[in-house]
């Protein structure tokens, strides 16, 4: 009899669920669009439907040990399990996800911040597999962050650690959804790339369009990505000095523009961070891509099930 878990990645655009074996193999993966203005009841109903599909597909060969949900909320794993500050899915603000999942599913429930889940996933199966201390930055609608120290995710006292996207780079800069101003999220997310392109006279609706313009030789698009790389590099230089990591993994949709921003990013790290940690740190692209969060959530559920067994 094989063992596995259900892992869910909740995003503003897609809800993805997979049945994952305890060795990390994805047994079945299913995806739905996240309904616009999804309510807590709709979310749980959709998750239930997807779980039924996964369970039917894997058959009775695999025993499921638990379910883990990666959510784009800073304190997703706090003791109360209440989701707060979901700028892209505001209708779920205040939802007690953990309690709702417990009511619907008969297995142990784990709720994890999505960027921390991605960090756990890359450390388990991906780019930072051999790195004891690593940082992941996810460049999507926002900028997420996750930190692994000595092989363990670092969550902080309230479970909110790793909010690297909200490190300030310009004190009086662009207003941020978090209530502050000039956070690096406002200069390095996919959303920010589109805004900065517009400020430079390029009217596109996606960061991919801006990248295509860069590839076509558009100097205004090149300026946008240079700014993005520089601001991100300034923040990462601070983290390199603070944590002395083996590796920084860059993930998320906007990481696809790698060649457009990685030069200025590395330049800032080497310019600003101390010599030893800045020459030590490797800057790597995600190896798991879209599956980093789902695999990290799966790993959390497996560890949670093991700890319950021990107790
Ligand atoms: Zn912010």
Q: Which residues contact 186 (CB under 8 A, 6 or more apart)?
A: 173, 174, 175, 176, 192, 195
- Candidate from 102-111, 127-136, 189-198, 267-276 with smallest mean pLDDT: 102-111
Q: Is residue 27 pLDDT above 90, yes or no?
A: yes
pLDDT range class, residue 60, cuts 50, 70, 90: confident
How many contiguous H segments (helices) and E segments (strands) does the chain have?
10, 10
Backbone region of residue 280 per phi and psi (left: phi > 0; alpha: psi in -120 to 50; beta: other values): alpha
Cα(55) to centroid of ligand 1, in Å? 39
The helix (H) or strand (E) run that includes residue 296 is helix 292-310
What's the predicted TM-score (pTM) here? 0.93
Mean per-residue pLDDT, 151-155: 94
pLDDT range class, residue 83, cuts 50, 70, 90: confident
Cα(146) to centroid of ligand 1, in Å? 16
pLDDT range class, residue 78, cuts 50, 70, 90: low
Cα(53) to centroid of ligand 1, in Å? 38
Q: Cβ distance 54 to 6 under 8 Å?
A: yes
Cα(185) to centroid of ligand 1, in Å? 6
- Both tokens of 299, joined, read 């790993």
The pLDDT assigned to 311 comes to 47
Cα(96) to centroid of ligand 1, in Å? 24
Partners of 283 in the β-ladder: 248
Q: Tokens 């959303």 label which residue?
A: 191
């Amino acid at each position: 009899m094989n063992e596995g878990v259900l892992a869910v990645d909740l995003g503003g655009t897609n809800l993805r669920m997979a049945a994952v074996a305890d060795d990390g193999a994805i047994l079945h993966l299913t995806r739905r669009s996240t309904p616009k203005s999804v309510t807590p009841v709709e979310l749980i109903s959709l998750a239930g439907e997807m779980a039924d599909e996964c369970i039917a597909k894997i058959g009775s060969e695999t025993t499921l040990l638990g379910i883990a949900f990666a959510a784009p909320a800073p304190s997703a794993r706090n003791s109360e399990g209440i989701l707060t500050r979901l700028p892209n899915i505001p209708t779920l603000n205040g939802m007690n996800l953990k309690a709702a999942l417990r009511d619907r599913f008969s297995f142990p429930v784990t709720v994890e911040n999505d960027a921390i889940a991605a960090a756990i996933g890359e450390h388990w199966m991906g780019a930072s597999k051999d790195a004891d201390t690593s940082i992941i930055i996810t460049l999507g609608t926002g900028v997420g962050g996750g930190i692994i120290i000595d092989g363990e995710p670092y969550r902080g006292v309230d479970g909110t650690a790793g909010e690297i996207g909200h490190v300030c780079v310009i004190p009086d800069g662009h207003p941020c959804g978090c209530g502050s101003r000039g956070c690096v999220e406002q200069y390095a997310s996919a959303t920010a790339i589109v805004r900065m392109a517009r400020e430079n006279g390029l009217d596109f609706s996606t960061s991919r369009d801006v990248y295509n313009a860069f590839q076509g030789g558009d100097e205004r698009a090149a300026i946008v990505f240079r700014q993005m790389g520089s601001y991100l590099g300034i923040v990462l230089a601070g983290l390199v000095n603070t944590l002395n990591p083996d590796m920084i993994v860059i993930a998320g949709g906007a990481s696809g523009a790698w060649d457009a921003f990685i030069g200025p990013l590395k330049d800032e790290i080497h310019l600003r961070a101390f010599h030893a940690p800045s020459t030590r740190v490797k800057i790597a692209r995600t190896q798991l891509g879209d599956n980093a969060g789902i695999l990290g959530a799966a790993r959390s559920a497996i560890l949670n099930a093991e700890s319950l067994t021990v107790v």
